[in-house]
Structure 1
Amino acid sequence: MGAQSAILLFLALCFFRWSHAAGNNTWDLSEEDGRELERELKTLNKPYVKSFKDEYGITYDCVDIYKQPAFDHPLLKNHTLQFPKRSDNTNKVATTKKTLPRLCPRGTVLIRRITKEDLIRARKYARMQLQQAQITDTSGGDNHYAGVEFAAGNGPMFYGASAKLDVFQVSGVSNNQQSESQIFISKGTEGPKNYINTVQAGWVVNPQLEGDNRAHFFTYWTSDGYQKTGCYNLVCPGFVQTSTRLTPGKIYTLSTLSLDIYKDRFSSNWMLYNDREPIGYWPKEIFTNMADSSVVQMHGNVYSPFDEPSPPMGSGVLNGAKFTNILLTDGQSNSKLPVNFRKYNDLGEAYYGVDYRVQNGVMYYGGPGGWKK
């Protein structure tokens, strides 16, 4: 499989936000399904030191950092917790003037509590996306995108990427649509699908999955091409949360998300920062093919059923959203402006524009949508 074809496949598969749910063949819950959900809730929702609801009614728990769900992963039983410090991230300087408040006491981490409704939505969403992927091709279909791709090819591999993303509370996204912007780092695009490893982070408006129409911070990972491993946010073990301020799945109200993802030279874990705030990391143990990265993407993408016009991307204005301060990290932890790149846009600028300016590391993208197959 070529790199371009594999990346298009990624874009179709990246909507499989919860692979563990894909085995359910019905949208209706049986009695056994209900019992399974209850078991999963008890496993995912750990005892907490403090609990509170935000202004939107979402419950968050402050969980002992050593007792968080990540360590239920069978490959993390002997994992040594890494304690990143806010000053550890030397790739970037702080770019957001308004900082997020500390929400949990020291020694704990902020985790969004998962409800039965969350799991049911995730099951239905995963099943719908599986069915859609089986009947659509990877050249467009219901998934549309605009962005840039950096491919290592025969040159040096990548060890991270960073950018500042504009964040919008996108209006006009219906209950069964999605609008998303993210940094996507992957390895294994040249081999079989089960060799594909990825780490992903960004923001998304997805009423069907999140239960509301607000922008949420999200993470995702897989180590076998989205088949059996990985998940969206913290609905399966794997991503290690370290922040008391921001957690995957949290509503994000600031206007910028300044993301930095890079492989730590000493631990080999893949770190995730927002500005100089360490959010957490993907441990090296959960990957099979992620010693480095061969492809980095920065893009907006949207999903819509066949019978509905595509939703807005970014701000909803043509080229009205942007990624700025785009940098790639090399094997010596140096951040550099990318030189070789490929722009991609499956619908053309009438719907979702894309303009990358290599001289200053800025990509403009987004648009009103409205395309209908």
Structure 2
Amino acid sequence: MYAPTPPIICIFFLFFLLFTPVFPIQDVKNFKAKYKSFNSSIESKKMKLINDLLKKINKPFVKSIKSPDGDIIDCVLIHLQPAFDLPQLKGSLPMDPPELPIPNGHEQAEKESEIKQVWSSNGESCPNGTIPIRRTTASDILAFGSISNFGKKIRPNSLDTHEYALGSVEEGVYHGAKATFNLWKPNVTGVNEFSLSQMWLAYNVPNRLVNTVEAGWMVYPKLYKDNGTPRLFNFWTPDNYKTGCYNLNCPGFVQTTNKYSLGGALNPPSTYDGTQTIITIKMFKGMTGAWWLVVGDEALGYWPSYLFPDLHNNATDVHYGGEVISNIGLKHTSTQMGSGHFPEEGFGKAAYIRSMEVIDIEGRLQPASNLKLQNTHPNCYAVTSGFSDTWGNYIYFGGPGNNPKCP
């Protein structure tokens, strides 16, 4: 290759010296100071918005409980909870729980084991007239990247996908549903990933936005800033997941009990080939059109009917099963669903949902028969169904995620 002669190199060097701008040291310092000040201003505005949101979520309390797992549980006067920030509820009081749906004659003795929450495991409780609310911190909000995303279900994009293993009854007129779940602690590997077992009641018809109320247990380290503890949760959306939120993270759900804390840790989970811990969940439409949530025999509270454009009439679909949100990469996520084992392993080893029933327009519990099974990746997570005199209609579901058949 031709090499420039020394004179040519000198000319290039001289040109560089003459025409390259030189910034005085003071100008550089001023630029750095302005840049730092600009960033500080942005951070200050961001923290102000976060603190404003925290004031809306974290209400004045009459008692505060330090849970053994590190959570802070605030006992908040029932009429000061976030839902009463809504114009429709200001100045009012929560409704009294209605009568529970009528059994169909096949109701089983399902008090095998009552779920316990860690915050109340040492005998702590909130006074009558208050409800226990898990305190939200600035770090909880910052984990979601933006204030607008906090507490909402992640919507699929180019990097994320929702995977399911479900049993469903669809295209009907339902006023509620009921089922018993066994509780597990699946391993969640990705930063933005979760794993849950729940029941969905949805209004889902063509040319209308999906309305849902949902409840169950979930492992979601990003939302709860923990090491993957199963937690009691609910969720709602009136518009195909554009708005709505988990638990009490936005005004909507009205809690009426001081026994359970939404988002509170559940203990103990089931053990593989050992003791099975269960949780029974019921959701049903009351006489006012509100959708009530019941855990065991305890009414947790309700979603007011005016939150939903269509679901206030009835649900069209009921889904039971597991959901995982995964970050798509070069290989499938190793986040587990259910127990992390496939349904074929059966009782004591796989996750199940049993005693699956729907509530008809007369308020009666009926078997959830003619289940339609759905799974997005059967080699990663699977679902099977069955019926027995003891369990009624049931499903086993779950799986390990990444494995030799699920690369």
| Aligned equivalents of 2:264, 2:155: Cα separation in 1 | 27
Match of 1:148 among 167, 181, 184: 167
Aligned match of 2:372: 342
Q: 1:108 to 1:131 in 2, by over 3 A?
A: closer
- Whether the 8 Å CA contact 2:102–2:364 is kept in 1: the answer is no
Q: Is 1:309 the equivalent of 2:332?
A: yes
Aligned match of 2:380: 351
Q: Is 1:40 the equivalent of 2:83?
A: no
Counterpart residue identity of residue 312, structure 1: Q
- Whether the 8 Å CA contact 1:105–1:244 is kept in 2: the answer is yes
Residues 138-169 of structure 1: per-residue CA shift (max 9 Å, x gap):
xxx6321101111135xxx0000110111111
Residues 306-358 of structure 1: per-residue CA shift (max 9 Å, x gap):
1253211100111111001100000111000022321001111x322211125
Aligned match of 1:16: none
- Whether the 8 Å CA contact 2:369–2:393 is kept in 1: the answer is no
Deviation, 1:174, is 4.0
- Whether the 8 Å CA contact 2:351–2:398 is kept in 1: the answer is yes
Deviation, 1:64, is 0.8
Deviation, 1:285, is 2.0
Q: Is 1:242 the equivalent of 2:266?
A: no
Q: 1:257 to 1:42 in 2, by over 3 A?
A: same
Q: 1:222 to 1:176 in 2, by over 3 A?
A: closer
TM-score, normalised with respect to structure 1: 0.82
Match of 1:282 among 283, 289, 303: 303
| Aligned equivalents of 1:130, 1:232: Cα separation in 2 | 8
Counterpart residue identity of residue 343, structure 1: L
Q: Is 1:369 the equivalent of 2:401?
A: yes
Aligned match of 1:133: 156
Aligned match of 1:328: 358
The gaps in structure 2 that reach 5 residues or longer are 1-41, 269-276, 344-349
Q: 1:165 to 1:133 in 2, by over 3 A?
A: same
- Whether the 8 Å CA contact 2:94–2:256 is kept in 1: the answer is no
- Whether the 8 Å CA contact 2:199–2:321 is kept in 1: the answer is yes
Q: 1:198 to 1:105 in 2, by over 3 A?
A: same
**Rg comparison, structure with higher value:** 2
How many residue pairs get matched?
332
TM-score, normalised with respect to structure 2: 0.75
| Aligned equivalents of 1:93, 1:45: Cα separation in 2 | 40
| Aligned equivalents of 1:276, 1:74: Cα separation in 2 | 31
The gaps in structure 1 that reach 5 residues or longer are 1-28
| Identity between Structure 1 and Structure 2 (%) | 30
Match of 2:70 among 57, 61, 66: 57
| Aligned equivalents of 2:303, 2:324: Cα separation in 1 | 25
| Aligned equivalents of 1:322, 1:131: Cα separation in 2 | 25
- Whether the 8 Å CA contact 2:188–2:219 is kept in 1: the answer is no
The secondary structure found in structure 2 opposite 1:70 is: helix
RMSD value over aligned CA atoms?
2.6
